[in-house]
Amino acid sequence: MSVHYRACNLCEASCGLEITVEANRVTSIRGDAADPFSQGYLCPKGVALQDLTHDPDRLRRPVRRVGDRWEEMTWSEAFDLVAARLLDIRSRYGGDAIGFYLGNPITHGWAPIIYIPQLLKALGTRNRYSAASVDQQPQHLLSHLLFGSPLLLPVPDVDRTDFLLVVGGNPLVSNGSIMTAPNIKRRLERLRERGGRLVVVDPRRTETADIADEHVFIQPGTDAFLLAAMAHVIVTEGLTRPGRAESYVDGLDAVQELVRQVTPEDAERRTGVPAETIRRLARDFAAARRAAVYARLGVCQTEFGTTAYWLVHVLNVLTGRLDEVGGWMLAEPAFDLPRIGALTTDLPGYDRWRSRVRGIPEVAAEFPSSTLADEILTPGEGQIRAMVLVAGNPVLTVPQGRRIDEALTSVDFCVAIDYYVNESTRHADVILPPTTALEREEFDLVFPAVSVRNHVRWGERVIEPEPDTRADADILRELLWRVEASTMGTRRARALDAARRRFLPRRFVDAALRAGPWGLRHGRRLSLRKVRQHPHGLDLGALHPVLPRRLMTDGKRIRLDHPVVVADWPRLMTALHAPPEATDGRDLLLIGRRHLRSNNSWMHNSARLTRGSNHCAVLVHPDDAQARGIAAGDRVSVSTAAGSIEAVAEISESVMPGVVCMPHGWGHGSRSGVGWSHAASLPGDSVNDITEDTRYDPLSGNAAVTALPVSLQPV
């Protein structure tokens, strides 16, 4: 028996794990009490990491589709076949005929982040799509516009704040989203114990709202009006105190003139939040000694996602919370991802090119996933004819999943890098399965950059991989050198591949740590050797002020009145005063929710995470249920302009009248040929079969799947 220490890679909290192994098999997982960051906390997903590792449904070796069955092949055969097919499509139709879809698990390991940009460049394609554009793309866009990098993402300093306003977020269930904060519940409880306040604004009384000092219901999709009206109060009542930020932030006067246009009375008509409540929240926020506004999916997944999230920045800047202790702060990770990303990828940028069919701007070198089906199904020059799916399941996670399903059946070739035959990879011609995280070394490049406390750790291998298996780094590198050989020749490509094998990941991580903010120029003088001496992780201390030094904009200044956002203001004002949208009888608004035991679609094959009641029920307010003759447990039809699905009704006063609530990522049993047996046995339809791919934020392209008009009736 042996005991190992790693960070969990199933969500952003990155909790420390104590893993017991016997005979090369994980026998138990518990929270690592010696981890300085998570301090022994672990949510149910962490324990289920062993289920993924030892899942009998998990693929171990490459398979190719032969008719309606799968046939194993050797790795060499698989790599040669995939490279040959991709290169053939490129030679006939051009590089942009190859599309990539990247699921959110790619952010939990170093290899996809390093290798995929190189593979895209080698193939000569700009057709990159990911789960980010159904989630957080407004945040990346604003970080690029205001701070100079899509990866400079501020987080609330929850451990030292006195007032936290959470808008459209549920950190108790997400474990902190774009905010790495293990045991966030205890952190928020401490906030209240030290006399602070937690206020949640949400159309549902969420798990976070349950422990808050105050919960405010708001009409879905109207957060921009609430935030603008709060800024109006702060400006008109002389509560503006930018503080130190005034020395490096431009456009403060112009922004104040904009928000003067949205009164609390205007906002009340759209949001349903009383004007006096808006005034009180604004005054309390401005008066707090240390405060921050934090917003997530409920704000980003709307047609005003970018403008609404910009107003989060505006509130934090106007009240002097930006880059101040207890406020809205940037981490300073040991591996400086924003700066390394700027040097090694083409991520920093906006509107450098546009999607072929709808002309939507790219954000951080990605097109919005809402237009992926267009790019596959619409004939013409640049049409996507091959797809590479990496740890993603767009059939269940992208709006109008049925259309994505249709699109994937039509491509000339599809390859997936994935553990499972899921609802999307079942369309692949070849599946290349990687080893799991516990079977390889890992180093977290991403989440320390959005952490509420600076920390670093290296993950040693926990169990030996099975014979004849490959890590994701091996798979991507093997494909990369074969593609590069087509342009630079086999000899040179092999030499470059050999250099990558020597350098990645250890030498690369070591060099980055030594050159980073905690490296040779700092008293810590971090190196990989020093980090590996701390198997429980190394605490680097609380967040500290880093601006304007850390800005990556010209002149290290923030332009708060950025023309991209200001140009969208008239659209917001038109919506503020416009009559209600005609919805053809769809008189309810659909919002999403998440379960602590669920992580989108990719952990549903674990029996321990899917026990209990139906996780895919639709929540309905008692008044709405009674008006439609719906009782608890009834099957109901949920319909939008894109179609209908069925769900079991759960009557709940946690949602406000006029709102229904369903999670996404389900629907495993509704499609044939799926290879995860337990997930396929679970009830529930995919809500993304009826979300509309024509509803999106025009600035970021992020899907607007919140506040979707629906009708509800008994089946």
Q: Six-digit token pair at 517?
A: 């903010």
Residue 498 class from Cβ within 10 Å (0-12 exposed, 13-18 middle, 19+ buried)?
A: exposed
Segments of the chain assigned to CATH 3.30.200.210: 2-53
Q: Could you read off the pLDDT of 677-698 as tens digits, one per residue?
A: 999 999 999 999 999 999 999 9
Q: What is the pLDDT of residue 525?
A: 94
CATH code matching the domain that covers 157-323+556-571, chosen among 3.90.1150.10, 3.40.50.720, 3.40.228.10, 1.10.3720.10: 3.40.228.10
- Strand duo 708-714 + 635-640: pairing: antiparallel
The whole-angstrom separation of Cα 402 and Cα 711 is 19
Q: What is the pLDDT of residue 655?
A: 98
* Confidence band, pLDDT 50/70/90 cuts, at residue 670: confident
Q: What is the pLDDT of residue 133?
A: 97
* Confidence band, pLDDT 50/70/90 cuts, at residue 614: confident
Q: What is the pLDDT of residue 320?
A: 98
Scanning 379-448, the segments in alpha helix (DSSP H) are 394-397, 401-410
Q: What is the pLDDT of residue 612?
A: 82
Q: What is the pLDDT of residue 524?
A: 87
The H or E element containing residue 100 is strand 98-102
Q: What is the pLDDT of residue 581?
A: 76
Residue 656 neighbours by CB under 8 Å, 6+ apart: 203, 204, 217, 219, 272, 621
Q: CA 8, 166, 314: angle at the middle one, nearest 5?
A: 115
Q: What is 63-135+336-444+458-504's CATH number?
A: 3.40.50.740
Segments of the chain assigned to CATH 3.40.50.740: 63-135+336-444+458-504
Q: What is the pLDDT of residue 176?
A: 86
Range of lowest pLDDT (563-567, 591-595, 598-602, 628-632): 598-602
- Type of residue numbered 105: P
Packing angle between helix 569-577 and helix 305-318, nearest 10 degrees? Answer: 100
Q: What is the pLDDT of residue 523?
A: 86
- Cβ neighbours, 10 Å, residue 101: 26
Residue 79 pLDDT more than 90? Answer: yes
Range of lowest pLDDT (533-537, 628-632, 634-638, 667-671): 667-671
Q: What is the pLDDT of residue 599?
A: 79
* The total number of residues written for the chain in this structure: 715
| Mean pLDDT, range 473-498, rounded to an integer | 97
Q: What is the pTM of this model?
A: 0.97
Residue in 423, 363, 386, 323 with CA at minimum distance from that of residue 132: 363
Q: What is 581-714's CATH number?
A: 2.40.40.20
Whether 365 and 477 have beta carbons less than 8 Å apart is answered as no
- Furthest-apart CA atoms within the chain: distance in Å: 72
For residue 420, the Cα-to-chain-centroid distance in whole angstroms is 21
Q: Could you read off the pLDDT of 277-333 as tens digits, one per residue?
A: 999 999 999 999 999 999 999 999 999 999 999 999 999 999 999 999 999 999 999
* Confidence band, pLDDT 50/70/90 cuts, at residue 521: confident
Radius of gyration from C-alpha coordinates of the chain: 25
- State the fold for domain 2-53: Phosphorylase Kinase; domain 1 (3.30.200)
Q: What is the pLDDT of residue 347?
A: 80
Q: What is the pLDDT of residue 597?
A: 85
Residue 145 class from Cβ within 10 Å (0-12 exposed, 13-18 middle, 19+ buried)?
A: buried
Tracing tokens 């300085």 back to the chain, one arrives at 36
Range of lowest pLDDT (62-76, 232-246, 606-620): 606-620
Whether 586 and 710 have beta carbons less than 8 Å apart is answered as yes
Residue 360 pLDDT more than 80? Answer: yes
Q: Could you read off the pLDDT of 400-451 as tens digits, one per residue?
A: 999 999 999 999 999 999 999 999 999 999 999 999 999 999 999 999 999 9
Residue 167 pLDDT more than 90? Answer: yes
Segments of the chain assigned to CATH 2.40.40.20: 581-714
Range of lowest pLDDT (65-79, 262-276, 586-600, 697-711): 586-600
Q: Six-digit token pair at 412?
A: 């000339």
Q: What mean pLDDT value characterizes the chain? A: 96
Residue 583 pLDDT more than 80? Answer: no
- Cβ neighbours, 10 Å, residue 104: 20
Q: Six-digit token pair at 126?
A: 């700009």
Question: CA-CA distances (angstroms) from residue 392 to 122, 139, 358, 420?
Answer: 21, 21, 23, 10
Q: What is the pLDDT of residue 600?
A: 78
